[in-house]
Amino acid sequence: MKMKRQTVLAIAFACISTLGIAQEIETTSKDQDQQPLEYQNKKNIVKLSLTSLAFGNYQFQYERILNKTFSVGISYATIPKDGIPFGNTIKNLADDDPDLINIIDNGNIGYTSFTPEIRIYTGKKGFGKGFYLAPFFRASKYTFDNISFEYDIDGGGTASLSTNGTLKANSFGLLIGSQFNLGKSIVLDWWIMGPHYGTSDGDLTGVSSETLSQTEQDALRDTLNDIDIPLVDIENNVNANGAEILISGPWAGVRAGLSIGYRF
């Protein structure tokens, strides 16, 4: 009888111990998963680039977390049409080139771009946090107003032809970066380096207020032929009504900077 009682107590104690260990493991597992689960529930991040603001570039991004490793995002950037960026710096390097100085003083430029990307988070934490690689595509558009070119006119003196137009560029690249938490909902996205390369093409068109003589057409053509942009092909068509400038060639750039974001 005493032996049976001891056996029952031993079995009961073993069951209670096993239950306690199982409960402890379950509780610990929940505690460890609580933080990742919190981030899994916040799958959306909207961001504003801080560094681009210094250049008058308003850049926004939306990122959607898919799982621990992957997310997708799209960025939109715009520069309101205004004077040539860094105009004074370029003028200082222009070596008194009157054509270039005239363009900088009177020209305006605007910019927009869309940049979809896929992010691959490589660290243990993931879910939109830590080091990442992001293949991306960028479609850019530049708009130009009042880009003027001077030429000699019959009877002496000079005149200028004002041109307007657009330049479009498509490029592919790879962004290397890291995203940090600054609180429960605030993130800091560091674009360490994102080189991209592609092609571009565009045109500028100007209509003269007066019919150009053959001599004036030749003078305008000489001015346009003096345009020299490294690695870019430039063609021009000049007639009695004005001129068209065709631009094509490779396109390259680098994404870099810091963005502040809100996660929800």
Residues of the chain with pLDDT > 70, as a percent, come to 79
Q: Is residue 7 part of a domain?
A: no
153 part of a folded domain? yes
Give the pLDDT score at 218: 97
- Of 107-121, 150-164, 223-237, least confident by mean pLDDT is 223-237
- DSSP state at residue 153: -
18 occurs within a structural domain: no
Residue-level pLDDT at 15: 40
Overall average pLDDT of the 57-83 stretch: 95
Is residue 2, in this structure, part of any structural domain at all? no
How far apart CA 103 and CA 83 sit, in angstroms, is 10
Task: Please answer whether residues 203 and 247 qualify as being in contact, where contact means their C-beta atoms are separated by less than 8 angstroms.
Answer: yes
Instruction: Give the pLDDT of residue 127.
Output: 93
- Confirm whether 82 is domain-assigned: yes
Total domains in the fold of the chain: 1
Domain-located, residue 24: no
CATH number at residue 150: 2.40.160
- Tell me whether residue 13 is in a domain: no
Amino acid occupying residue 145: D
Model confidence at 10: pLDDT above 90? no
Q: What is the mean pLDDT of residues 29-38?
A: 46
Selection from 214, 210, 221, 211 nearest residue 243 by Cα: 221
Tell me: the pLDDT tens digits for 119-144? 999 998 899 999 999 999 999 999 99
Would residue 14 count as lying in a domain? no
Task: Grade residue 28 by pLDDT with cuts at 50, 70 and 90.
Answer: very low
Cα separation, 127 vs 116, whole angstroms? 19
Q: Which domain holds residue 199?
A: 40-263
In 3D, which of 263, 260, 262 has the Cα closest to residue 53? 260
> pLDDT tens, 182-241?
988 999 999 999 999 999 999 999 999 999 999 999 999 999 998 888 888 999 999 999
Q: What pLDDT sits at residue 73?
A: 98
Q: Check residue 107 and give its pLDDT.
A: 85
